[in-house]
Structure 1
Amino acid sequence: MRMRASSVANDIPESVLDRAFHWAVVLGSGTAVRADHDALEHWLEQSEANRSAWRRVQAVEQEFSMARTGSRAASSALQRTARGRRMRSRAAVGSAIGVVLLLAGLLSLLLPASTGRYERQLVAVDQPRLIRLAGGTSLHLDAATTVSVSVQAGRPHLMLRDGRILVDSSAASVDRKPVIDAANTRFRALGTRFEISREKRSVGLSVLHGRVAIEADEAGGQQVAAAGERWRIRSGRIERLADDGLTPGAWVDGVIEADNARLGDVLDAIGRQRSGWLRYDATAAALRVTGVFHLSDTDAALRALEQSLPVRVDRMSGWWVTVHAK
């Protein structure tokens, strides 16, 4: 049975549904503590509307879990989307702390070197940002990205812990081009502009200009990636990927550029910029998309997809959106 937003939410205030979605994100984040569970129980005891909203949210989650059973690829994509949503929710809750950390990191990263070494700074962002590192490198951080930064003898050393970054070292001299670690992989900038993303079990690299040296800790060895190439490092194996139809780094300019790309990949990119949950089924994920979508208005992007593709976008308030194939 499919539940439409109009039938699910017509007897529950949107503010109550929003709160129920909030609790679903918190409890599904993997970081919930006893106090979170106690707070949810207290909220449920306050009214029947709260309990009804919570039951509705659980029912939708159960429906979607059943729909994706048997499709490992679809499940993996949905888990990546959900992880991004959980990060966005946590970032929103702690946005003030994130701003303090960002400013503290900028103060040390922008000052000229005196000792030749800085302590590591943790930078966590909830929306795309630009940081100019010592030595001339520009570091673009996508939403829901966490990276540790240190500067040693003028050379930036980055540890990508989660999310996605775009590095532009065109203004940096050879001895000040950055080194980036992600999982068990090291990337050395030999050229100018490239994108690195970290997923749960792999790390991705897209080279826009120049070259990047890849060094895997395990048996994967080394590889030099050239402009226009995409690579994935998983379990120590370095493998080249085919073009996925998405323009690397377009998010820096606030857009998604798709040329015969999978709808699932486009929705993942849109989902990074939204609070709450954006989900889709396997049939919808396999559809192909061509177009330019502005990340400043993700609701407009979803409406454009609904108008141009055989899909239906169901909205249960701003927190919970599902895309189904018609």
Structure 2
Amino acid sequence: MLSDQLKAPGGAAPTDSAVEEAVQWEVRLRADDATQRDRDRFEVWRRANPANEQAWIRLQERLARFASLRGASGAAVRSALNERSHARRRMLKAGVGVGALALAAIGTRELIRTYSLDADYRNGDTAPQTVALKDGTPVILGASARAYSVEGDARSDVYLASGQLLANSSATKRSQVVVRTRDGTAITSNARLSVDALRHHTVVAIQGGDATLATPGGSSVHVDDGSVWSLSSREIVRMPETAADIFAWRRGTLVVLDRPLPDILETLGRYYGGYIRFPQAALARRVSGVFALNDAEAALRQLANGLGLSLALYGKVLAVASEA
């Protein structure tokens, strides 16, 4: 979320008002009808307070990173990663891809970790996409999903770096389907799995069979048909939704019960495509509801209204919620 991205490396952050004003100025200055008077007023605002200048610089740094990476192809990035720095610059000048331009600013490890640009399977659309793993096993990727194929001796393994996927054990000839995330592993030989790799945890829903969930620390739980679980590096906790609720994402519907607001914002952000900012105080709130994923703007309005907030939408670029 944009407010998180604007924090300074040392932990200090511009004031909330400065961050919001920086976003508003970004929108105004990029508008087709922006005038010289607007630009003059912006310069006055920028110099009026050090927090304003800091907020503007942080915003531009983050926007530049995301904008350059959005159109990157995995092949172009992998090719650039294999080159020495001087050769990489020549490749970029030759048109390898603007996404790889971020390598110099972000660094190889952070680039791969944050954006998974070398992922074997990617869905850049909002509609679900079916891909085949290396052994032919079909997997359905949700919006913005990025996944890697993992070699397994007698099963079909996939590592989900971000986003959501559906894996069906009956669609593979191998004995098991294994889906891994940074939070742990889900294994089944007879069920459908919906796995959602969120920032703070992984949500796993099991339908039509049973499964085993395990954390990196060694804890494991055998889970039954119809259940939903939160998997993190430290614990495995049952969630109040049913598997039918979670699998509704395949039909374009997000169903949540008593979920932390950041979970919903992260999910809707995959479908909205722009930057979403809600007040810091609202991030501790929990939400229950049904949201239409095929109309992310309407879903954001519904979410903001339910929290007593007003929402300003700037096309597909920015969504800023504030106290009504």
TM-score, length-normalised on structure 1? 0.59
Question: Compared with structure 1, are the counterparts of its residues 316 and 212 closer, same or farther at alpha carbon in structure 2 (3 Å cutoff)?
Answer: same
What is aligned with 2:225? Answer: 227
Structure 2 residues not aligned, in runs of 5+: 1-15, 77-117
C-alpha separation in 2, matches of 1:217 and 1:177? 19
Amino acid at match of 2:70: A
The more displaced of 204-213 and 193-202 is 193-202
| Contact 1:231 1:238 survives alignment (8 Å) | no
Q: Please report how far the alpha carbon of residue 312 of structure 1 lies from its aligned counterpart in structure 2 after TM superposition.
A: 0.6
| Contact 1:190 1:212 survives alignment (8 Å) | yes
What is aligned with 2:273? Answer: 275
CA RMSD of aligned residues (A): 4.6
Question: Compared with structure 1, are the counterparts of its residues 86 and 54 closer, same or farther at alpha carbon in structure 2 (3 Å cutoff)?
Answer: farther
TM-score, length-normalised on structure 2? 0.59
Structure 1 residues 151-203: Cα deviation after superposition (integer angstroms, max 9, x where no partner): 65773221222332221223335x44322232373322133211223345644
Percent of aligned pairs sharing the same letter: 19
Aligned length: 254
C-alpha separation in 2, matches of 1:199 and 1:9? 28
Task: Decide which of 67, 71, 84 is 1:93's aligned counterpart.
Answer: 71
C-alpha separation in 2, matches of 1:163 and 1:204? 11
What is aligned with 1:186? Answer: 185
Q: Please report how far the alpha carbon of residue 260 of structure 1 lies from its aligned counterpart in structure 2 after TM superposition.
A: 5.7
Q: Please report how far the alpha carbon of residue 313 of structure 1 lies from its aligned counterpart in structure 2 after TM superposition.
A: 0.6
What is aligned with 2:29? Answer: 12
Q: Which has the higher contact order (CA 8 A, sep 6+)?
A: 1
| Contact 1:157 1:180 survives alignment (8 Å) | yes
What is aligned with 1:25? Answer: none
Amino acid at match of 2:176: K
Partner-residue secondary structure (3-state), 2:267 = helix
| Contact 1:136 1:171 survives alignment (8 Å) | no
What is aligned with 2:176? Answer: 177
| Contact 1:258 1:290 survives alignment (8 Å) | yes
C-alpha separation in 2, matches of 1:86 and 1:187? 36
What is aligned with 2:163? Answer: 163
Question: Compared with structure 1, are the counterparts of its residues 226 and 52 closer, same or farther at alpha carbon in structure 2 (3 Å cutoff)?
Answer: farther
The residue correspondences of 1:141-152 to structure 2 (distance < 5 A) are 141-150=141-150
Large movers: runs of 4+ above 6 Å: 4-7, 85-88
C-alpha separation in 2, matches of 1:95 and 1:191? 35
